[in-house]
Amino acid sequence: MSTKTLPGWSDTHEQSTAGPQRSADRRYSGLRSTARGRQARAAWILAAPFLALFAAFMLLPVVWSLLMSLTDTKSADLRTPLNVSFTGLDTYVRLFQDDQFFTALRNTGVFVLVALPLTLAAGLAAAVALDRGIRRFRAVFRVGFYLPVITSIVAVAVVWKTLLEPRAGLVNLVLGWLGIDGPAWLADTRFALPVMIVMAVWRNLGTVMIIMLAGLQSVPQSLMEAAELDGAGPWQRFWRVTFPLLRPALLLTAVTTGIGYLQFFDEPFVMTGGGPLDSTLSATLYAYNQFGNGNYDMASAASYVIFVLIVALTVLQFRVLRDKD
């Protein structure tokens, strides 16, 4: 403030001179605070409906779930959910003593480690090919690659089951043309999980592609032309110019796809029910089966373990992929 430089307005004389300044301040901030008050009131009116629904159907269940995992809640307590006894970490101890849960965690781990990089690479490749490679029929390819994303998993399951039929299915028919005797995909412990991985990549690469396409369009054309004039080849232009600029988009898709993949559930639920011999049992499917068996405590505990894993993976991805500056 310019007044501060005037003699008599300095800090040491504050006691004697602050009077008029203060009252002016108060009047000013009074005006501001009614404006602020109006704004805050409007904000809370706008926020209230969402927050009411959010509190009832999100926050309450999240806390309730944690409490359930610390009690012995079963389906018999459905009508009297408060009439249960506190058992501390006992449910978690039982969870980690269950070999089936470890099988489920291992399957989920294999699924994420293989499917996540494959999905990101396939989606990125599709986006680059559509944005930089071709100029005609872009919309046709875009819609075709995105179609699995918008398709109900139940419809997908019906089709893939008939595709993978050992004798009457299309997959083994095509393999037969190549002289390969295709296996009974979903009934074979060696092939069931890889089938789930292929299905997941097929279903999700369209999402990655769309976000990457948006990212690619934000790369300035002038930058690419400058790099070309400087003698950079297409390969160099991609890795040195485009790829670093895509980092935020890549981070976004890696995080969201990772969160989805750790909750790997749909494919085994509709295709195999977790079999054969638990070879496609995922952690989320394990939790759901516990719910189905009435063990609400175990279901909640397993869900919370998955939640912790999701947070860990998200933090890790932010560390690895964020801008290094």
Q: Shortest Cβ distance from residue 319 to another protein (Å)?
A: 16
In this complex, which beta carbon is closest to another protein, that of residue 81 or of residue 117? 81
Helix (H), strand (E) at residue 302: helix 296-321
Minimum CB separation of residue 1 from another protein in Å reads 22
CA distances in angstroms from 271 to 41, 151, 229, 243, 285, listed in the order given: 51, 15, 53, 37, 12
Q: How far apart are CA 26 and CA 37, in angstroms?
A: 15
What does the alpha-carbon distance between residue 41 and residue 38 come to, in Å, rounded to a whole number? Answer: 5
How far apart are CB 208 and another protein at their closest, in Å? 12
Nearer to another protein, 193 or 216 (CB): 216
Instruction: Please report how close the Cβ of residue 279 comes to another protein at its closest, in angstroms.
Output: 20
Contact 237, 228 (CB under 8 A): yes
Place of tokens 């070309």: 228
Is the CB of 169 or the CB of 274 nearer to another protein?
A: 169
C-beta closer to another protein: residue 6 or 311: 311
C-beta closer to another protein: residue 89 or 143? 143
Q: How far is the CB of 136 from another protein (least distance, A)?
A: 6
In the complex, what is the shortest distance from the CB of residue 165 to another protein, in angstroms, rounded to a whole number? Answer: 8
> Hey, what are 285's tokens?
């499917």
Neighbour-count burial of 233, counting CB atoms closer than 10 A to its CB (0-12 exposed, 13-18 middle, 19+ buried): exposed
d(CA 304, CA 62): 9
- The residue behind tokens 């930089």 is 132
Query: Smaller CB distance to another protein: residue 18 or 52?
Result: 52
Separation between Cα atoms, residue 289 and residue 278, nearest integer Å: 12
Amino acid, res. 134: I
How many C-beta atoms lie closer than 10 Å to residue 322's C-beta? 11
